Chain A
């Protein structure tokens, strides 16, 4: 059990800057994110796209913004818990007991939800029948590639993950690659390689088809695919892999009784607390009259939520407002030597 002042859910720009503000006022926090890296949407959706509306930064990419925010909170040495997700919240004696998917437990008076529009999860096949085999023979990521040796593997998708795995597995498995159109969005070199492998019959390449059904009797036997004219084909399959990118799912947050309004959490604008004492929501996931889904708004929200957390984390102390330019306490926290 880790005891801390605040658990932040989401390591996007808003969560990171809130952590900075917590550090400045002398609070500790632990940051949980289900991506395997820090940065949230900035790093997952648009690492290379320039952003033009960060105050005093005329232009920076999602990756640059993330790196600068990480740099800014370095002095505080906060822990990140990546590839993990907060699964369960329980209130006990005015403290929140937080459990994650990987079994980590935290005890904290404050939770700051900076979850964007939810956690990133692989998009799954639309076919109901695929659910039965989910995690067994219908997979959306690969942990152990040896299980595919000498097996028939049908891969769906047109991006880098689909192409890279089709190339990799073609050495030791019977690979069929299915994509909904003739063009691929993967790297040109991979597309070229796929075409070569298809020309020399190392892999079967089927385009303009998508999944219709998976069939089996206990274990997976085949996958049926269809085109838009309604024609279908059945392909023998021991494994079916889908690589359709990531989607954002609100996940367990929806179950915490936060009066959700269209996937967003209503908050007050004084300290961004939700209807539950000690649970704050900031960034894209919160809503209030006039809300703008801008990174700069998330920064402001994080700064105020941090002060809101102080009240519960240090009930016997009075919060004192200080400037970073003037306060020696803050400079000590930042490790600044003058």
Chain B
């Protein structure tokens, strides 16, 4: 279980306890947190669960991107070097305290 903080583009903060094994994306969807669309449902094929990890320490701590995630991020709205697809961030105790920032929009 990890406490994940989701911050919308307008600054609204949401916190959710997300069970290990779920993705950060699923944590948002299951808790009705706006700002993550996840149109493809977690298949790494749509780039609408795009988040920024603003804390550099956290960004480095996250599991590395798999092949294809950066290709998909090319198609996201305003991708940056600290962008991740939240469907690829699988929650474990190690992720307790993670904060993700949502982009202005997903599509």
Chain A: which residue is nearest B68 at the CB level?
A: A185
Say yes or no: A41 contacts B40, CB within 8 Å.
yes
B48 within 8 A of A: yes
Told that A126-B78, A244-B75, A247-B75 touch, could you supply 20 new A-B pairs with CB distance under 8 A?
A45-B46, A46-B45, A117-B39, A123-B77, A126-B104, A158-B74, A159-B74, A159-B75, A179-B74, A180-B74, A180-B79, A183-B70, A185-B70, A228-B80, A228-B81, A244-B74, A247-B46, A247-B107, A248-B46, A263-B37
B71 within 8 A of A: yes
B43 within 8 A of A: yes
Say yes or no: B107 contacts A248, CB within 8 Å.
yes
A322 to B100, CA, bound (A): 54
Say yes or no: B80 contacts A45, CB within 8 Å.
no
A46-B43, A248-B39, A248-B107 known; A126 and B81 CB under 8 Å? no
| B residues in contact (CB < 8 Å) with A | 37, 39-41, 43, 45-48, 70-71, 74-75, 77-81, 104, 107
Say yes or no: B43 contacts A185, CB within 8 Å.
no
Total cross-chain contacts (CB, 8 A): 55
Q: For A210, what are the chain B residues with a Cβ–Cβ distance below 8 Å?
A: 78-79
A249 within 8 A of B: yes
Chain B: which residue is nearest A246 at the CB level?
A: B75
A244 to B76, CA, bound (A): 8
- How many whole Å from A66's CB to the nearest CB in chain B? 16
Say yes or no: A45 contacts B40, CB within 8 Å.
yes
A244 to B107, CA, bound (A): 11
- How many whole Å from B65's CB to the nearest CB in chain A? 11
- Which residues in chain A, 140-175, are within 8 Å of chain B measured between CB atoms? 157-159
Interface centre among A123, A179, A247 (most CB of B within 10 A): A247
Q: For A244, what are the chain B residues with a Cβ–Cβ distance below 8 Å?
A: 74-75
Chain B: which residue is nearest A46 at the CB level?
A: B45
Say yes or no: B71 contacts A159, CB within 8 Å.
yes
A46-B45, A117-B39 known; A245 and B74 CB under 8 Å? yes
Interface centre among B43, B45, B75, B77 (most CB of A within 10 A): B75
